[in-house]
Structures are given as structure tokens and as C-alpha cells.
Amino acid sequence: EAGVAQSPRYKIIEKRQSVAFWCNPISGHATLYWYQQILGQGPKLLIQFQNNGVVDDSQLPKDRFSAERLKGVDSTLKIQPAKLEDSAVYLCASSSNNRGSNYGYTFGSGTRLTVV
């Protein structure tokens, strides 16, 4: 079974620029999550999708972050404009139902964003 695919693997941008990350979940997984992991901290949920609908985006900084999952499969997370404090690893995860599979989520390898 293919894992959760994310791209790019690394990205360096200047502050105030825009950036987008892409995630392709495991085939058939209805639930998709974006997490932000700042260096030295645990991952923090930004947004959760169930198919193409948003379940939880309470911790998404909506003034600069946006995410979509138009066809209920791939997802894109965008930051516009980026700030220095957005430097982090952005992890995508998917699970087979809203309560998670018996063996937990599957995480992608993440996109490491550096804002300079």
C-alpha cells in the first residue's frame, strides 16, 4: 500500500511570500489532516477534512492559511503571506474513517518550510 505522499520535501521562501504544499492521502482514506510541527514541539492540528468537507479548522490561522480538498482526495495547504514563525514541518496524515483506523493514522514525511 502506498503511503501518504507530500511535496515538496523542502521549501525556503522569504517572509511575505506565498507557498503551497500538496498532499495525496492513502487511497480510500476519507479523513485527511494537516499538522504543523515547530522545531522541538509535537505536531499541532491545523485542519481536518472528512471527504471534501472541513471537520475542524479551529487552530488554522485563517488570516494567512488556507486549505482545500476539492474532490475529497488530494489536498493543498497555502500560506499567504508567510511569516518567520511559520517555519516548521507541515505534516499531512490520513485515516480510513473519522475515528481513525485500528492502527492509527498514517503520516506523510512532511514538508520542511523555512521562512527567511
Partner 1 sequence: AQKVTQAQTEISVVEKEDVTLDCVYETRDTTYYLFWYKQPPSGELVFLIRRNSFDEQNEISGRYSWNFQKSTSSFNFTITASQVVDSAVYFCALRGNYGQNFVFGPGTRLSVLP
Positions touching partner 1 (CB under 8 A) are: 31, 33, 40-45, 48, 50, 55-56, 89, 91, 93, 98-100, 102-110, 112
Q: Would you call 103 helix, strand, or coil by DSSP?
A: coil
Nearer to partner 1, 16 or 62 (CB): 62
Report the alpha-carbon distance of residue 58 to residue 14 in Å, rounded: 27
- 115 backbone dihedrals φ, ψ, rounded to 5°: -105, 125
Name the residue among 111, 106, 87, 108 with its Cα closest to residue 21: 111
Least distance from partner 1 to the Cβ atom of residue 17, Å: 23
Angle (CA) 27 86 96, round 5°: 20
Nearer to partner 1, 28 or 104 (CB): 104
Nearer to partner 1, 45 or 81 (CB): 45
Least distance from partner 1 to the Cβ atom of residue 8, Å: 13
Nearer to partner 1, 64 or 112 (CB): 112
Which residues face 114 on adjacent strands? 12
Least distance from partner 1 to the Cβ atom of residue 4, Å: 9
Least distance from partner 1 to the Cβ atom of residue 87, Å: 14
Q: Are 13 and 115 in contact (CB under 8 A)?
A: yes
